[in-house]
Chain A
């Protein structure tokens, strides 16, 4: 990789005389260019209002600290998985192995983490490193091996799941309560701090060299290359980041469940994609906001919560969940398209 060019000295600005054309404001531009994000936030507010309404109808009171805490705690694994997914979606790919990576992280945590600070820190780091490593494998298959992302990660999904089952054949193991209370404190919504942290990570990513490269691939890979961007490296990095976040998601999943289960991660492959779509990520790459994806993850959880309070036969729960998600996805896509067009 040749060295990055030294910054060009911009031409002398004082040479230009006369007034410039008036510009549209920063906020106007932002709203026009981030329809997906705005829509995701609106949807989140709508979901919260609806949730409060059904909660009120059921209990004649408003949700409080307990509901907030459990919602945030239950959403954390999805927030992390969806952000991981979004790195790959930005490059026009999909990472189907997220569920498998989460399973393995979950199983490793349940088997190895013991009630000592050393063990907790050490194994958290090891699990995150393994997650990143699994992502790296995906990245190499796609970036260097030139496999289709869906094919490569579908294959590794089964492999990672297989390893997870090997590590923890039956649900079991245990997560020390201290670990749980640090990650997903059951009494106070401290996990909101992690949400904030993820948002900050996204903020930094968006303004980093690798962030620009990953967005650029999704815009137009050939142009990105013509601009001197190392597209292979950027693609490999996107999968590695996805694996890293899936690993973190697995840790949070284990912490919420307080025990391990090498199969609960499965569903996250799909829901992480759903959260991306609800969050306004464009599946064709190059466009989208992690903040929207976080909102999308919360909307996904809220839909489940709303159904819970709507007295729906548990047998049909997942049917309605699916239905709700489809409606939400279709609506947000349609509204987004309409807004973009009328701009």
Chain B
């Protein structure tokens, strides 16, 4: 490849380029005459809203998809990629957004798939395979992952790291990473960035997408902004506000809407001494029209609090709904009491991805729209369409499977389902995580509207900034307890973080 990287003039051609690429899925023009190029020895960030076409572009460059029009170039030469193997032959390797690990195979089998060490008779030598995988994991500094473990038994972050490791060991000259950090914690992101910096120093080209601005600015040499399937521009320096404007195509003045004034002081949910796994005597009161934030360091019982309230986790303690003691043993019980949970991990909880937007929206109200056991036609469609309009759910149609929607829009479908069921107590668990800026903004506005209608919102976010701006009150959790309560106005993100940390110290 060395001859190809130096042209006669001594100029280094881009490692990989897309020239006026186009790709449509049915009626959706995912990539629309997009031009993009990245150089050897640079880290190039690709940013844009969900649905902007970033993943599709990456698949075109990585050989997973073939363009309808335009061309892909590698090291200055036009190439035809008929599959990932063709890209691999050119040193282009991809970590796709939806992981491609095989869940019931071991880490070692996944790391070395199709390159397994072979022994006598050409059969795979499993012990050597495990040994080799172990060396790779150790070399990459992730030896806490056991090469004999099944992928299924790993955490999401560990799976992502295996997926990254699997590509790194191919010694890529161009590395495409599609949202590699979305399931990683801070430590793991640091691990990844160290790897990326090493590769950059070796003259490799790294292209990645992310929604986390501080990550992008901390490592990217250049940033290309994508909107509606095409590039808006490529920058070496750009501040977040301007980037957001370019991504969304409009000014986001007043990014955080004001929470509405609380009209009622009626408690709709009272929780006393809630205890269970990861929860130690948490108590709280939620009022009608209130947005009650829950914050604190990750892993301090937030998830357990939300899932216990929704009956998805065993618990003890007193729960009072609308002044009446309630027993919540299952999500059914909770739903009957008008409660709804929108969790962060929409892939595994709540949504039926292969089913249509319509079916997912009306799932909780099926009895109401059905007659004689048949699922209702026009009425169901009407309800679903109403929700799609009200929540601005971006979907090609009511009949499209939810899988085709972007993350933020999937969140909205789940929220829409509960709104159709007329839930009055909404438990929103980190719903904006991994969601693009514009959709985030829409979700904020929606929250305000729902509170304005008198609904009560319990809102956990891993982003302290959001809590500070959107909530009437914020509860800070620590070790399964409510450690502090902050009241608006005047809450800042620092207050929340400080409360979490100070309380930690005080108790030790």
Contacts and interface: CB of A to CB of B under 8 A. Distances in A.
A342 to B, nearest CB: 13
A222 B84 CA distance: 12
A286 B64 contact: no
Nearest to A30: B148
B278 interface: no
A15 B139 CA distance: 7
Contacts of A219: 102-105
Contacts of B83: 2, 228
B139 A11 contact: yes
A229 B83 CA distance: 11
Given A5-B114, A8-B169, A228-B85, A216 B102 contact: yes
Interface stretch (A152-160, A204-212, A257-265): A204-212
A204 B126 CA distance: 12
Interface string A203-240: 01001110010011011101110111100000000000
B143 interface: yes
Nearest to B127: A26
B114 A229 contact: yes
B89 A208 contact: no
Interface stretch (A16-24, A114-122, A292-300): A16-24
Contact of B149 (A9, A20, A29, A220): A29
A23 B136 contact: no
A33 interface: yes
Interface in A299-316: none
Interface string A45-86: 000000000000000000000000000000000000000000
B102 A10 contact: no
A247 B60 CA distance: 45
A53 B10 CA distance: 86
A13 interface: yes
Contacts of B29: none
Size bracket of the A interface: 35 or more
A226 B100 contact: yes
Interface string B10-27: 000000000000000000
A4 interface: yes
Q: Binding site of B, secondary structure by majority: helix, strand, loop or mixed?
A: loop
B407 to A, nearest CB: 19
Contact of A212 (B109, B147, B148): B109
A7 B109 contact: no
Nearest to B122: A208
B100 to A, nearest CB: 4
Contacts of A15: 139
Given A2-B89, A219-B102, A224-B102, A20 B116 contact: no
Nearest to B149: A29
A24 B153 CA distance: 13
A215 B134 contact: no
A20 B102 contact: no
Nearest to B59: A226
Contacts of B454: none
Interface in B101-155: 101-106, 109, 113-117, 121-126, 132, 134-136, 138-141, 143-144, 146-150
B96 interface: yes
A26 B149 CA distance: 10
A5 B138 contact: no
Contacts of B245: none
B116 A212 contact: yes
A228 B139 contact: no
A211 to B, nearest CB: 8
Contact of A24 (B100, B114, B125, B148): B148
A10 B96 CA distance: 22
B285 interface: no
A267 to B, nearest CB: 31
Contacts of A26: 148
B115 A227 contact: no
B171 interface: yes
B381 interface: no
Interface-centre pick from B114, B150, B171 (highest chain A CB count, 10 A): B114
A10 B135 contact: yes
A11 B89 contact: no
Contacts of B126: 207
Contacts of A209: 114
A11 B169 contact: yes
A212 to B, nearest CB: 7
A215 B115 contact: no
Contact of A286 (B85, B102, B121, B171): B102
A286 B148 CA distance: 17
Interface string A306-332: 000000000000000000000000000
A209 B114 CA distance: 7
B117 A7 contact: yes
B508 to A, nearest CB: 26
A201 B113 CA distance: 21
A223 B170 contact: no
Contact of B86 (A2, A4, A212): A2
B123 A208 contact: yes
B148 A23 contact: yes
A259 to B, nearest CB: 39
19 contacts: A2-B89, A5-B88, A7-B115, A7-B117, A8-B171, A9-B171, A11-B136, A21-B144, A29-B149, A33-B150, A204-B121, A208-B123, A208-B124, A212-B109, A212-B116, A212-B124, A216-B102, A219-B102, A228-B85
Given A11-B136, A33-B106, A223-B99, 7 more contacts: A11-B140, A29-B148, A215-B102, A215-B105, A216-B102, A286-B102, A287-B104
A-B CB proximity, top 4 nearest:
A219-B102, A226-B100, A207-B123, A13-B135
